[in-house]
Amino acid sequence: MAFDYDKYIRPGKLPHIWCPGCGHGIVMKGLIRAIDTLKLEKNNTCIVSGIGCASRLPGYMDCCTLHTAHGRAAAFATGVKMARPEMTVFCVGGDGDGVAIGGNHFIHACRRNIDITYILMNNHIYGMTGGQFSPATPTGAKASTTPYGNPDPPFDIAKLAIGAGATFVARGTAYHAVQIDKLIVEAVRHKGFSVVEILDDCPTTYGRRNKYKSVIEMMNHLKEVAVPVKAAEKMAPELLQGKVLTGVLYKEDKPEYCEQYQKVIERAQGGIK
């Protein structure tokens, strides 16, 4: 029997705003399958986003959903999680939202290791505003504000998250759709701040400026650059040039923030400063 996505979609809220060929819908389906696998209760699941195409995702989901201001998802989510540690809290959003305007909140949520799963849809561009370069746009790429090619080097978002202290970091792609829910499931089961970066495509504002003739070509690119982290271990370094590792890139057990704060409460109540 086909998987029933409708049971997690808010009645009447589709169609979504995403362009034909955009990978965000693939990620949303992955999130839905993950929620189903994890048997999360809708009332106990909070999905927080910032601003941008990817940040419209919560509106379609039949959960507690919070569409905040540009870049602020991780900070709002921190408030929700602190207030209700029993809730499963997701952040969803794009690359510009997450690591440009929201970069400070992102790295500090990583550092605290608060039990939130951040699904970052990296399509390397500001799509909603019409295709300006983001901190994830490759050097040399064309965007509406890099007409002569992007002079900026991009962030490696997964490395940024690991460096900042996230204790679970995974990467997938919109092409590898069936892997997405598995990565999210593992991220949610991990106690601590988890980042799932999904390399995504924006045919409308990135593809057409960067000589991708079709969505299929963009998807094939994702297929070709992705190397599972285990396969990469056996590959010669020169073969990994221009490739992107996928799968679970980093996992570490460290004290989780809400649990740490619970210890603060116990110390305060025990009279020990």
Q: Which residues of the shown chain bind other proteins in the complex (CB under 8 A)?
A: 10, 13, 42-44, 46, 48, 58-59, 62-69, 72, 75-80, 82-84, 86-87, 104-105, 107-108, 261, 264-265, 267-269
**Smallest distance, Å, CB 102 to other proteins?**
10
Closest C-alpha among 220, 242, 245 to residue 231: 245
CB of 61 to other proteins, least distance (A): 9
Which CB, 13 or 254, lies closer to other proteins? 13
- Cα distances (Å, whole numbers) of residue 228 to 83, 95, 258: 37, 22, 32
Nearer to other proteins, 151 or 270 (CB): 270
What are the helix and strand counts (H, E) for the chain? 10, 10
Least Cβ distance, residue 62 to other proteins (angstroms): 7
Do strands 64-67 and 88-94 pair parallel, antiparallel, or not at all (unpaired)? unpaired
Strand partners, 91: 48, 118
Chain centre to alpha carbon of residue 137: 16
Please identify, using beta-carbon distances, which residue of 107 and 248 lies nearer to other proteins: 107
Name which of 2 and 264 has its Cβ closer to other proteins: 264
Contact 106, 122 (CB under 8 A): no
Which CB atom, from 63 or from 92, has the smaller least distance to other proteins? 63
Q: Are 94 and 54 in contact (CB under 8 A)?
A: yes
